[in-house]
Amino acid sequence: MNRFNSVLLVICILLFNNPLHAEKGGKLKLWYDKPASNWNEALPVGNGRLGAMIYGDPANEKIQLNEETFWSGGPSRNDNPDALKALPEVRQLIFDGKYHEAEKMVNENMVTDLHGSMYQVVGNLNLSFPGHENYTGYYRELDIEKAVFTTTYQVDGVTYTREIFASQPDQVIAIRLTADQPGKITLRAGMDGALQKSIKTLDNHTIEMTGLSGTHEGVTGQVKFNARSKFIAKGGSTSTEANKIKVEDANEVVILISIATNFLDYKTLTADEAEKCAGFLQKAENKSFEEIKGSHIAAYQNYFKRVSLDLGTSEAANQPTDVRIRDFSQNHDPELVSLYFQFGRYLLISSSQPGGQPANLQGIWNESTHPAWDSKYTININTEMNYWPAEKCNLPEMHEPLIQMVKELSESGRQTAQTMYGARGWGTHHNTDIWRISGVVDGAFWGMWPMGGAWLSQHLWEKYLYNGDTEYLETVYPVLKSACLFYQDFLIEEPTNNWLVVSPSVSPENAPAGRPSICAGATMDNQILFDLFTNTIKAAELLGKDKALTKEFRKIKDRLPPMQIGKHGQLQEWMEDLDSPDDKHRHVSHLYGLHPSNQISPYSSPELFDAARTTLNHRGDVSTGWSMGWKVNFWARLLDGNHAMKLIKDQLTLVGGESNRGGGGTYPNFLDAHPPFQIDGNFGCTAGIAEMLLQSHDGAIHFLPALPDDWENGKISGLRTPGGFEVSFNWKNGEVQQIEINSNLGGNCRIRVPNAMEFADNNSLSPATGENNNPFFDTPDIKEPLISERANLNPVNLTPTNLYDIQTEKGKTYTLIKRK
Ligand code: FUC
């Protein structure tokens, strides 16, 4: 290279390569002024299938790697065939009040030694940069508008930059290392993994690591992975050294990481992991980094950009993210909430892509071979919670992996229903894994809950309410119907009121004082079945199917126990009035009827509304991460924005880092702390923030149902509601200023607004009359609650609202403004 060319090259590098990280901070960035010192400070990138946690350490970069199908064991089942014989006696023991004996019998006859597989870590790519121990000007960010991680710092007057992202279109994790002077990049790179079988270099540019998943509970590990890191340097030299790659004096280095496993589907492990891994890599390496990055950002933004949220900003937003979390409860920092909301959407896009696995307890990010609760799918709340933001926060495609899992569980759960209970249809319990196990997990106290499939089935119906697509409904109807068939066979009549109840069961993971959890007719079970039967009947009617059968289903629905209000004015968790006002349990299962379901309404069932509020006040606020996320939604549904905000503050309490109060909260990297890290809290709170601003479960689209004093002014665009409406609006001093509604399906759009509105073109809006005739806004036909004579109920004081009907046409947009 002659002198002129070298000068040109330097200018080019200065102009185009650096600093690509743009300005420090910004609305949609998590940023820090130091590298991560532990996993809870590292930052996540993901493309649904591949995940990486990035530490951003100048001298020793660690990129911790996951692949969503790398689980311990292999195809397996955990149905105990002795269950069937024990069932009648277990039921009798429960009706006789012999709960300890019933629990013992379940543990001995219905549980097996198999409690599900573990989601496992693949390993790390480690990059060491000699001499980079002493750096200045350190900065690291995760730009969630682009889904790109960047870090930059200076050593000896040279500015170094690293960019990292996980590309969905190209199925690789891509890294680019640049410096603002030529020939300055020197590094050693190696891979390691706790479950690795071999690590070697394939050529001067590529490290290959292979591995096998762990054997667990007697099931031999059968998932094989192949992981490759390819180094493409500009300038300098690239060579190998003892299974490592050595790059000396390069101008720029691009690293592409590809990982694949032999997983094909939950029953089959016959894919060729090496071929798949090499295939992704070969395709990607033919493209420039800029091309890969461009299509990554475009694919990501196709989802991400659909929703924007502005709750205002303050000085506090100029601080690094960990400092903002630490100070959140003292500061007015509304932009941290909008960042958290968008981070939830970022996490869902990054961990749940069509065709892949649903987000597990840790999404896809896990550094351990033995993660907490195996990082499985806990389907008595946590997995469902992961998907609360999917439809309403405009990420319906991200919901697909869950829908697919429910379809698969309806196959594996059919055998469970038959083997364990001699029932038709399909059923699952409170946990599942990648092999779609559906028997009892963990023991009777936690696991004797045959309701996981019924709750998950609500997601099939919810998707239909949003897309109105009968072809889709056809594909899920058999799953809904079969879920009902299971309960048609499984429900039994209880002796006191002759209600049809689920037995044996539990109210998830809680027990009345002095008793085991095992019971019959828990409130949550009744509410879930009310929904399952209601929705299945509606689906059958819509599709013109199963007339005689739905008649039977209707009879069953009518014989389910009603909700009951107990002596403390609380909503009863169990069939008997056993609740204690001192019970602070993290699960608040019986409020399923309040959220996510719509069986409790301030307008149509004020007594139940008040009882739910009493229950929630008894339970208290601070709890595990996910429990607080749920409570944000509960308080939003209870129309109490300030209490919901209090829960957001509890959730956005820094755990780890400088202050550690113990309990749930948020880690410096913005991930939810159960503790330990569990992603449901992120998703639950994200959904809760949306729920504070817009609700659509109670017969109308309700604007600002639970606005806290902190968010006087703001705007949000792109939220979705049932009936195919897409809604954007802004507000000032708590009053809605302008609303835009896109109608994708047509039909009546009933809205509830705190202040009076009119059409922007001066046409007057019609006040709503009678029932909302939009079928997607049907309110449930709930039985009158039974109320204890000792219950003192509080009045429900509702702020007056304005209710309007807009007859919409498919494909049209309607603009409303505050009435002058
Ligand atoms: C349920 C919860 C726990 C935890 C676990 C993964 O068992 O009760 O708090 O979230 O799932």
pLDDT digits over 387-421, tens only?
A: 999 999 999 999 999 999 999 999 999 999 999 99
Evaluate if residue 659 carries a pLDDT over 60.
no
CA of 373 to the centre of ligand 1 (A): 8
Residue 771 corresponds to which tokens in the numbers above?
């029932």
Tell me, in angstroms, the distance from the centre of ligand 1 to residue 448's CA: 14
| Ligand 1 proximity of 672 Cβ (cutoff 6 Å) | no
Reduced to 3 states, what is the DSSP secondary structure of residue 199? strand
**Cβ(509) – ligand 1 distance below 6 Å:** yes
Those residues whose C-beta lies under 8 Å from the C-beta of residue 86, and which sit 6 or more positions away, are: 105, 106, 108, 109, 110
The CB of 361 under 6 Å from ligand 1? The reply is yes
For residue 506, how far is its CA from the centre of ligand 1 (angstroms)? 14
CA distance 297 to 353: 15
Distance between Cα 269 and ligand 1 center (Å) = 29
What's the alpha-carbon Rg for the chain, to the nearest Å? 27
- CATH numbers and ranges of domains, the chain: 23-72+122-310 (2.70.98.50), 693-779+799-820 (2.60.40.1180)
Nearest to 348 by CA among 316, 313, 304, 381: 304
- Find tokens 């992202």 and name the residue: 165
* Residues 444 and 516 sit within 8 Å (Cβ to Cβ): yes
Find the 624 Cα to ligand 1 centroid distance in Å.
Answer: 9
Task: Report yes or no: 261 and 225 within 8 Å, Cβ to Cβ.
Answer: yes
Which ligand 1 atom is the nearest neighbour of the CA of 624?
9
Element (H, E) at 67: strand 60-67
Has residue 300 got a pLDDT over 90? yes
Distance 215 CA to ligand 1 centre (A): 24
Residue 764: the pLDDT is 83
Residue with the smallest CA separation from ligand 1 atom 1 is 378
**Using CA atoms, how far apart are residues 66 and 642, in angstroms rounded to an integer?**
39
Q: Which of 433, 445, 507, 509 to mutate to test the pocket of ligand 1 (most atoms within 8 A of CB)?
A: 509
> What are the two backbone dihedrals, phi and then psi, of residue 698, each rounded to the nearest 5 degrees?
-120, 50
Phi, psi of 562 (to 5 degrees): -75, 170
Euclidean distance between CA atoms 649 and 151, whole angstroms = 29
Length of the chain: 820
Q: Is the CB of 430 under 6 A from ligand 1?
A: no
CA 132–ligand 1 middle distance (angstroms): 42
**Ligand 1 pocket mutation, candidates 375, 674, 677, 683, criterion most atoms within 8 A of CB:** 674
Q: Measured from the CA of 378, which atom of ligand 1 is nearest?
A: 11
- Ligand 1, atom 10: nearest CA belongs to which residue? 382
Handedness of CA 606, 610, 616, 617 (dihedral sign): positive
pLDDT of residue 684: 98
**3-class DSSP state for residue 415?**
helix
Distance from residue 628's CA to the centre of ligand 1 (Å) = 13
DSSP character at residue 129: -
Which tens digits make up the pLDDT trace of 715-735?
A: 999 999 999 999 999 999 999
Residue 600 Cα to ligand 1 middle (Å): 25
**314 CA distance to ligand 1 middle (Å):** 36
- 304 pLDDT band (50/70/90 cuts)? very high
CA distance 350 to 363: 9
List C-alpha distances in Å: 15 to 8, 296, 547, 593: 10, 23, 70, 58
- Report cis status (omega within 30 of 0) of the bond before 88: no
Q: Which token pair is 195?
A: 């479950």
Residue 266: exposure state from Cβ atoms within 10 A (0-12, 13-18, ≥19): buried
Quick one: pLDDT at residue 26? Answer: 76
Position 193 pLDDT exceeds 50: yes
- The pLDDT of 30-34, averaged and rounded, is 98
Closest Cα partner for 86 from 111, 112, 105, 114? 105
Ligand 1 site, residue 511, Cβ cutoff 6 A: no
- Cα(286) to centroid of ligand 1, in Å? 45
Q: Are 329 and 653 in contact (CB under 8 A)?
A: yes
Report the 10 Å Cβ neighbour count for 1.
10
Alpha helices in 395-510 (DSSP H): 396-421, 444-447, 452-467, 470-490
Q: Are 51 and 350 within 8 A, CB to CB?
A: yes
Q: What is the pLDDT of residues 615-643, one digit of tens each?
A: 999 999 999 999 999 999 999 999 999 99
Most informative mutation of 382, 383, 433 for ligand 1 (most atoms within 8 A of CB) = 382
Sheet with 725-732: list strands edge to edge: 308-310, 714-721, 725-732, 735-743, 813-818, 757-759
Count CB atoms within 10 A of the CB of residue 197: 11
Contact of 256 with 189, CB cutoff 8 Å: no
CA 341 to chain centre: 12
Of all protein residues, the one whose alpha carbon is nearest to atom 8 of ligand 1 is: 509
Q: For residue 708, which of 643, 800, 637 has the smallest C-alpha distance?
A: 643
pLDDT of residue 155: 98
Nearest ligand 1 atom to alpha carbon 509: 8
CA distance 226 to 262: 9
- pLDDT over 60 (residue 7): no
Rounded to 5°, angle at Cα 603 from 598 and 604: 70
Q: How far is the CA of 676 from the centre of ligand 1 (A)?
A: 11
- Cβ 378 under 6 angstroms from ligand 1: yes
Cis amide leading into 675 (omega within 30): yes
Q: What is the pLDDT of residue 779?
A: 84
Q: What percent of the chain has pLDDT over 70?
A: 96
And the tokens for 454?
Answer: 């019924």
Q: Distance, CA 371 to ligand 1 centroid (Å)?
A: 13
159 lines ligand 1 (CB under 6 A): no
Give the global pTM. 0.96
Q: Which residue in 498, 522, 616 sits closest to 575, CA to CA?
A: 522
Name the strand (E) or helix (H) holding 533: helix 523-543
Q: Which of 431, 586, 627, 682 to mutate to test the pocket of ligand 1 (most atoms within 8 A of CB)?
A: 586
Return the structure tokens found at 679.
Answer: 């992603």
For 729, the token pair is: 């609006």
Of ligand 1's atoms, which has the minimum distance to the CA of residue 361? Answer: 6
Find out whether the beta carbon of 213 lies less than 6 Å from any atom of ligand 1.
no
Q: Is the CB of 624 under 6 A from ligand 1?
A: yes
Look at residues 520, 603, 420, 516 and name the one whose alpha carbon lies nearest to residue 91. 520
pLDDT band at 657 (very low <50, low <70, confident <90, very high): low
pLDDT digits (tens, 9 = 90+) for 499-538: 999 999 999 999 999 999 999 999 999 999 999 999 999 9
Q: How many angstroms separate the CA atoms of 662 and 35, rounded?
A: 23
Q: Which amino acid is it at 71?
A: W
**Long-range contacts of residues 292-296, Cβ cutoff 8 Å, at least 24 apart:** 292/167, 292/170, 292/172, 292/174, 293/148, 293/163, 293/165, 293/167, 293/174, 293/176, 295/167, 295/169, 295/170, 296/147, 296/148, 296/165, 296/166, 296/167, 296/168, 296/169, 296/170, 296/174
CA of 236 from ligand 1 middle (Å) equals 52
Give the nearest ligand 1 atom to 627 CA: 9
* CB of residue 674 inside a 6 A radius of ligand 1: yes
- Ligand 1 atom closest to residue 626's alpha carbon, by position in its atom list: 10
558-584 per-position pLDDT tens digit:
999 999 999 999 999 999 999 999 999
CA of 509 to the centre of ligand 1 (A): 8
pLDDT of residue 656: 79
Residue 296 has pLDDT above 70, yes or no: yes
Cβ of residue 226 lying under 6 Å from some atom of ligand 1 = no
HEC states along 636-688? HHCCCHHHHHHHHHHHCCECCCCCCCCCCEECCCCCEECCCECCHHHHHHHHH
Ligand 1 pocket: which of 385, 445, 506, 678 to mutate (most atoms within 8 A of CB): 678
Give the pLDDT score at 748. Answer: 98
Ligand 1 pocket test, candidate residues 362, 451, 626, 631, most atoms within 8 A of CB:
626
Q: What does the alpha-carbon distance between residue 483 and residue 410 come to, in Å, rounded to a whole number?
A: 8
| 751, 770 contact by CB (below 8 A) | no
Which of ligand 1's atoms lies nearest the C-alpha of 442? 7
Whether the ω angle into residue 596 lies within 30 degrees of 0, i.e. cis, is yes
pLDDT of residue 582: 98
Neighbours of 763 (CB within 10 A): 9
The strand ranges marked E within 648-801 are 665-666, 672-673, 694-695, 701-703, 714-721, 725-732, 735-743, 747-753, 757-759, 766-767, 786-787
Chain mean pLDDT for the chain = 96
Mean pLDDT confidence for 668-681: 97
CA pair distance 544, 134, nearest whole angstrom: 72
Atom of ligand 1 nearest to the CA of 508: 8
Q: What pLDDT is recorded for position 778? A: 82
Residues in CB range of 688: below 8 A, 6 or more apart: 629, 630, 632, 633, 636, 644, 647, 648
Q: Pick the atom of ligand 1 nearest to 678's CA.
A: 10
DSSP notation for 483-515: HHHHHHHH-EE-TTT--EE--SB-BTTB--TTS
Q: Please state, for a pLDDT cut of 90, what percent of the chain lies above it.
A: 95
pLDDT at 15 over 70: no
Predicted pLDDT at 10: 43
Q: Given the CA of residue 446, which atom of ligand 1 is nearest to it?
A: 7
Ligand 1 binding pocket includes 679 (Cβ within 6 Å): no
Tell me, in angstroms, the distance from the centre of ligand 1 to residue 446's CA: 9
Assess contact for 304 and 345: CB atoms under 8 A: yes
**Span from the CA of 378 to the centroid of ligand 1 (angstroms):** 7
Nearest to 311 by CA among 730, 683, 739: 730
User: How many whole angstroms from 612 Cα to the centroid of ligand 1?
Assistant: 22
Q: How far is the CA of 745 from the centre of ligand 1 (A)?
A: 39
375 lines ligand 1 (CB under 6 A): no
382 ligand 1 Cβ < 6 A: yes
When pLDDT is averaged across residues 671-684 and rounded to a whole number, the result is 97
d(CA 647, CA 652) in angstroms, rounded, equals 8
Strands (E), 576-650: none
Task: To the nearest 10°, report the CA torsion of 434, 409, 505, 615.
Answer: 80
Burial class (CB in 10 A: 0-12, 13-18, 19+), 529: buried
Mean pLDDT of 91-113: 98
